[in-house]
A and B are shown apart, each in its own frame.
Chain A
């Protein structure tokens, strides 16, 4: 598993990468009340704002960590946004992306480096 400075986690699953936010990020956000997901089939570039998460406090964006195509989104989060707080590292993944260059994964941190970042 890899981690971004934006507190996303990336997990390789066959030729896809599953993306979610970390436990740390979900705690910082507070109670999530709304998630807006991209449409399946959308082609995205790294750093595009593709997901909006609204907590009771504020709205924040999730950036595309890689270039590629969104092949699946987690519709469950639309009905149950609080899953982001309950199980951020598991059930509450946001989308699966088919990367055009898996080499972009190398830019990201491993778990030890991420844990150091959040101290």
Chain B
């Protein structure tokens, strides 16, 4: 009963580039190209990597005016949407009644509407959720005829500045409508690799022309989902369904930075989103467990599901790895996971059990690799 996998507009280009295609969130997606995960990762950190992220959901929320739309969205997320300046973007998450996270998202103030990008695996659920709570006052439109590319890495600005000088003027989380190779694109200076870079929303019919133009630059290579995962892991960024899910609160997940002051208990518009009482309680009392960075002290990678203990032998289980693998930039294994609050202090030594053997792990801050955003 395998369902037919969906394809992005770049599918034929991926196959022609020699990509290894895998099913991901209902799409047939490139996990790696002939370069391989390690070199793709390094290429992104040193030059510029091009990612097909068209499987993600692109949604436009439109009400009578920005503030009305923003107030409506604030009933579903704990972020400050109302005061977000025009042509600025912000990270957020949909919460549920138990204070858990239903999905994470990016949203941007585009003046007369809010542009939202959500995860591929959650997009149907998210759109239904938005419709159920915001319509009819706000229209919720999924943009199925737009593709999404991310150009990430230190050379991304130079590549795009050849098409328009305004690319170089954009700061981290700025949003603009700009032409690239004669194609009008919606661009944000953001991404999910820890590198400076841009996400580019493009009409599907012009998508492959855009990709071909970008790939014509010597510094630009296609990068697959494999390297996308190791890049975001080193950058300490959460992967929904792994590091955060409907059972983790943003406080446990160490995402309090993404809840602006205006929405906290002492703010100007406190609460008013699902699970606000639980999240407020976690904020004031502290959660029982916390997401932390983990640095395995041996060469053995610790992957998702590895149990964490307080002792090298015996002892008790005090946490679990939620994302882990090898970090090509650190040239060492890296991970993140949840640990009991008593073990969440930086430099605490704990132990991860890999194939029946316990290896020392050091609790650390995130990100593992310093972000190179253009603030």
The A-contacting residues of B in range 213-243, CB under 8 angstroms, are 226, 230
How does the 8 Å CB contact mask read for A7-45 relative to B, with 1 for contact and 0 for none? 000000000000000000000001101101000000000
A54 interface contact, C-beta 8 A? yes
B355 interface contact, C-beta 8 A? yes
A118 interface contact, C-beta 8 A? no
**In the assembled complex, which residues on chain A have CB atoms less than 8 Å from the CB atom of B299?**
33-34, 78, 81
Distance, CA A59 to CA B305, complexed state (A): 13
Query: Could you list 28 examples of A-B contacts with CB < 8 Å?
Result: A30-B32, A30-B36, A30-B37, A30-B226, A31-B36, A31-B38, A33-B38, A33-B299, A33-B301, A33-B326, A33-B333, A34-B300, A34-B301, A34-B326, A34-B333, A36-B355, A52-B355, A54-B300, A54-B326, A56-B37, A56-B41, A56-B226, A56-B230, A56-B326, A57-B31, A59-B301, A59-B303, A78-B299
Is B38 within 8 A of A56, CB to CB? yes
Query: Which residue among A30, A33, A54 has the maximum number of chain B CB atoms within 10 Å of its CB?
Result: A33
Query: Which residue among A33, A56, A59, A78 has the maximum number of chain B CB atoms within 10 Å of its CB?
Result: A56
Show the binding face of A for B, using Cβ within 8 Å: 30-31, 33-34, 36, 52, 54, 56-57, 59, 78, 81
Distance, CA A56 to CA B39, complexed state (A): 11
Is B37 within 8 A of A57, CB to CB? yes
Q: Provide the main secondary structure of the chain B interface.
A: mixed
- Nearest residue (CB) in B for A49 is B355
**In the assembled complex, which residues on chain B have CB atoms less than 8 Å from the CB atom of A78?**
299
The A-contacting residues of B in range 281-316, CB under 8 angstroms, are 299-301, 303
Count of A-B contacts with CB under 8 A?
41
The distance from the CB of B289 to the nearest CB of chain A, in whole angstroms, is: 26
The A-contacting residues of B in range 17-45, CB under 8 angstroms, are 31-32, 36-39, 41
B325 interface contact, C-beta 8 A? yes
**In the assembled complex, which residues on chain A have CB atoms less than 8 Å from the CB atom of B153?**
none
**In the assembled complex, which residues on chain B have CB atoms less than 8 Å from the CB atom of A33?**
38, 299, 301, 326, 333
**In the assembled complex, which residues on chain A have CB atoms less than 8 Å from the CB atom of B303?**
59
Show the binding face of B for A, using Cβ within 8 Å: 31-32, 36-39, 41, 226, 230, 299-301, 303, 325-326, 328, 333, 355
Distance, CA A33 to CA B325, complexed state (A): 9
Distance, CA A81 to CA B326, complexed state (A): 12
**In the assembled complex, which residues on chain A have CB atoms less than 8 Å from the CB atom of B333?**
33-34
- Nearest residue (CB) in A for B32 is A30
Distance, CA A63 to CA B325, complexed state (A): 23
Give 6 closest A-B pairs by Cβ, nearest first.
Answer: A31-B38, A33-B326, A56-B37, A34-B299, A54-B301, A56-B326
Query: Which residue among A31, A59, A81 has the maximum number of chain B CB atoms within 10 Å of its CB?
Result: A31
The distance from the CB of A89 to the nearest CB of chain B, in whole angstroms, is: 19
Distance, CA A78 to CA B300, complexed state (A): 10
Distance, CA A59 to CA B226, complexed state (A): 14
The distance from the CB of A68 to the nearest CB of chain B, in whole angstroms, is: 22
